[in-house]
Amino acid sequence: LRRDDGDDGAASDVSSECSGEPGSPYGSPYPRWPVCKLAARMPPPAPLLQRLGTEPRRGGARDRKAGCTGTHFSAAPELQLMKERFSKLLLGEDMSGGGKGVSTAAAISNAITNLYATVFGSCHRLEPLPVEKKSMWRREMDCLLSVCDYIVEFFPSKDILPDGTTREVMATRPRSDIYVNLPALEKLDDMLLEILDGFQKTEFWYLNDKAHKDSCDDSAPCRPASHRGEERWWLPVPCVTKSGLTEPARRDLRQKHDCASQIHKAAMAINNGILAEIKIPESYTQTLPKCGRASVGDALYRGMSFPGKFSPEYLLDCLEISSEHEALEAADRVEAAMHVWRRKAGHGHARSPWGAVKDLMESDKNVMLASRAEDALLCLKHRFPGLSQTTLDASKIQHNKDVGQAVLESYSRVLESLAYTIVTCIDDVLFADESARKI
């Protein structure tokens, strides 16, 4: 670029004025910070575009009109879909743009939950996931999890200059909870999909599977059986031959059952840990009763306050809970009472965590009741692994503002649900096999 001041000899190079030298009217006053040279460099492609395998569009409306027929926009529909979803994510699910939407953390949590429902909502059989759905799950989860790449924490470090001088600086690293839990969740995700891929050729089929029905001869009729009764009548019923499964197939099913069960426990542990770290919303604490006994009822309170050794299994056996609805209602009451007793025990230690209060006041009755309520709640969740979210958990997810915690909580929750679904489906097949061998 050249500038003409009206005189042939007065032309000068504008780039020399933008070199960042001291005293230049266009440069930076700091000699080591050139302005124009940095601005002239093209920024690298965004991480999202790199993962989608596309290039950033460098032009405006002209490039958009002229490039629609070229190879440059081969991934335009996919990119447009991702742009639309991320736009809704940033708007907080408020399409009016008035700022009345949910927080970014809640929007990401809802996006992961809705994606799981779209991909695995109809997963009620032991069969490989379709290629299209698997590709959709991988691609969109990769984009939703990419936000964690930029959630970092500062830590003191040392930097050595070229002249050998050492100076203290603040460096960044992934936040500790994301650094520990996110790779573990991704590994559990891969293991669950690998389990589903292992059901390519099976010795069982389902009642409404016409292809297997036609190929089944009269000498080996199918024997449908289910232990669910009428509780979930809409789920497909597995069928096996008259002689049941072979020993290798039965052994393989049990191995996959044990693996999926361990994955379920691991995902549940991560989810419970993340939920425990999320701050209790003020709206929930305002609804707590003043007395924990009024929340749990007289029968539960007598079992928890009984002196001597406490057994949560025996307490739940006495309640005779027969359905998940009753279990969820009991979990809500026990959890509310637990926080009432914790609040009373820590009234004089408002700024101390619950663990410190528990150690300092071990002899307090409120501490004992809160600890027993926590044990009963944990036992209740293990006894009913498919239990829905409690009122407190739903309130935490709704009012949470931490994006990293929202990603980890929703990701672990959907993996926990998928693992539980696989476990129950394998249980159905093993039950049908056992019923066929008894006949």
Using CA of residue 9, residue 15, residue 20, residue 24, what is the dihedral sign?
positive
> Does position 72 have pLDDT exceeding 50, yes or no?
no
Alpha helices in 199-285 (DSSP H): 210-215, 247-277, 282-285
Which pLDDT does position 226 carry in this prediction?
56
Which pLDDT does position 184 carry in this prediction?
96
40 band by pLDDT with thresholds 50, 70 and 90: very low
Which pLDDT does position 84 carry in this prediction?
76
54 band by pLDDT with thresholds 50, 70 and 90: very low
Q: pLDDT over 90 for what percent of the chain?
A: 31
Of residues 90 and 408, which shows the higher confidence score?
A: 408
Of residues 70 and 124, which shows the higher confidence score?
A: 124
| Average pLDDT rounded to a whole number, residues 368-375 | 89
| Average pLDDT rounded to a whole number, residues 263-268 | 94
The mean-pLDDT minimum among 36-40, 133-137, 321-325, 410-414 falls in 36-40
pTM metric for this prediction: 0.74
Amino acid symbol at 322: S
Q: How far apart are CA 120 and CA 134, in angstroms?
A: 10
CB-based contact 436:148 (threshold 8 Å): no
The mean-pLDDT minimum among 51-60, 163-172, 341-350 falls in 51-60
Which pLDDT does position 402 carry in this prediction?
92
> Does position 46 have pLDDT exceeding 60, yes or no?
no
> Does position 415 have pLDDT exceeding 90, yes or no?
yes
347 band by pLDDT with thresholds 50, 70 and 90: low
Which pLDDT does position 230 carry in this prediction?
55
Options 1.20.58.1310, 3.90.420.10, 2.40.50.180, 3.20.190.10; CATH for 280-399 is 1.20.58.1310
Which pLDDT does position 229 carry in this prediction?
54
| Average pLDDT rounded to a whole number, residues 148-168 | 89
Task: Tell me which residue of 321, 341, 339, 342 sits closest to 387, measured CA to CA.
Answer: 321
pLDDT tens for 161-183 read: 888 899 999 998 899 999 999 99
Which pLDDT does position 366 carry in this prediction?
85
Task: Point out which residues pair with 347 in neighbouring strands.
Answer: none
Helix axes 247-277, 403-438, angle to 10 degrees: 150
Q: Which residue has the tokens 């949560």?
A: 312
Give the number of other Cβ atoms within 10 Å of residue 39's Cβ. 9
Distances (CA, A) of 117 to 100, 110, 112, 113, 120: 25, 10, 9, 6, 5
| Average pLDDT rounded to a whole number, residues 309-318 | 85
pLDDT tens for 3-24 read: 444 444 444 443 444 444 444 3
Q: How far apart are CA 398 and CA 409, in angstroms?
A: 12
Of residues 36 and 387, which shows the higher confidence score?
A: 387
Task: Tell me which residue of 22, 10, 33, 139 sits closest to 86, measured CA to CA.
Answer: 139
| Average pLDDT rounded to a whole number, residues 323-350 | 82
Phi, psi of 167 (to 5 degrees): -135, 150
| Average pLDDT rounded to a whole number, residues 233-260 | 88
193 band by pLDDT with thresholds 50, 70 and 90: very high
83 band by pLDDT with thresholds 50, 70 and 90: confident
Q: 392: number of CA atoms within 13 Å, CB side?
A: 23
Tokens of 133: 């759905």
Which pLDDT does position 224 carry in this prediction?
54
Q: Could you tell me the fold of the domain covering 79-211+221-269+407-438? A: Methane Monooxygenase Hydroxylase; Chain G, domain 1 (1.20.58)
- Same-fold call for 79-211+221-269+407-438 versus 280-399: yes
Which pLDDT does position 128 carry in this prediction?
93
Burial label, 184 (beta-carbon count in 10 A; 0-12, 13-18, 19+)? middle
Q: How far apart are CA 177 and CA 186, in angstroms?
A: 14
Tokens of 131: 């290629």
CA dihedral 379, 384, 390, 396 (to 10 degrees): 80
Give me the count of residues in the chain: 439
Q: How far apart are CA 237 and CA 207, in angstroms?
A: 6
> Does position 398 have pLDDT exceeding 80, yes or no?
yes
Domain boundaries, the chain: 79-211+221-269+407-438, 280-399
> Mean pLDDT highest for which of 4-18, 100-114, 312-326?
100-114
| Average pLDDT rounded to a whole number, residues 97-123 | 88
210 band by pLDDT with thresholds 50, 70 and 90: very low
